[in-house]
Amino acid sequence: MLGAIAGDIIGSVYEHHNVLHKQFTLLSEDAFFTDDTVLTIALADSILNNTPYVENLKKYYHRYPDAGFGGFFKRWACSDDTRPYNSYGNGSAMRVSPVGFAFDDLDIVLKEAERSAAVTHNHPEGIKGAQATAAAIWLARQRQSKTEIKTYIEETFNYNLDGRLDDIRSTYTYNETCQGSVPQAIIAFLESADYEDAIRNAISIGGDSDTIACITGGIAEAFYGGIPEPIRKFITLKLDKQMDEIVRGFYKKYIDRVQGKEDPY
């Protein structure tokens, strides 16, 4: 989950100032968390404390109203209506990483990813983007190879993952849909050599940089067994106390126990 949060924070300074190369400053002091981080932690809070997703998504919006939420989500979060609004935006995928880390059965991961998405993103593409991202994280946790992850995602979700970053980079434009950003984020992971390289890959194609890096980062964390300590220290300093407490509690219960660590984080 911190891998996704790190992708968001690192990518925050490049969303509106795209860089189409990998030699950019990784840990910029100007970096900040966006709605991607806020809603990722909202879902983690729901899983950790058994709180309905819809309740926490609205609560966290009101706690961090200036985090850069999209218009449709903002109107929904500010209303008394709890019905979904049929979105196929990549918001369902950007926030789903806690699902991929918390549950030990793939069928449960898929069902829970759908539940987490459908409170807002009940369009089939919105659900598919969340499920594909969560499934990739779960498969990476099971030490599946990149080839196995790629094959499963392609066969299950009908995403084309044969593209190469060099080709994507030359033609890609800003796209906030699941179908226009989740496959690219997964390809950025598939071409990576390590966690940092995955984030550099994701940001280097341009577009919705923070969200693509967020999606890539969650998968890369699971596959590479964590994130580098300098990145971990950098991003945790960007979180406030309430966020930090939820993240630490989530890691203690769902991630560090699996990795045999005595202390969260």
* Cβ neighbours for 145, distance < 8 A, ≥ 6 positions apart: none
Which residues lie across from 76 on neighbouring strands?
none
Q: Which domains does the chain have, with CATH numbers?
A: 2-259 (1.10.4080.10)
DSSP string for residues in 113-171: HHHHHHTT--SHHHHHHHHHHHHHHHHHHTT--HHHHHHHHHHHH-------HHHHHHH
What is the tens place of the pLDDT at every residue in 99-124? 999 999 999 999 999 999 999 999 99
* pLDDT tens digits for range 19-58: 999 999 999 999 999 999 999 999 999 999 999 999 999 9
Stretches in the chain below the pLDDT threshold 70: 257-265
Instruction: Give the predicted TM-score (pTM) of the model.
Output: 0.96
Instruction: Assess contact for 31 and 9: CB atoms under 8 A.
Output: yes
- The pLDDT value given to residue 256: 77
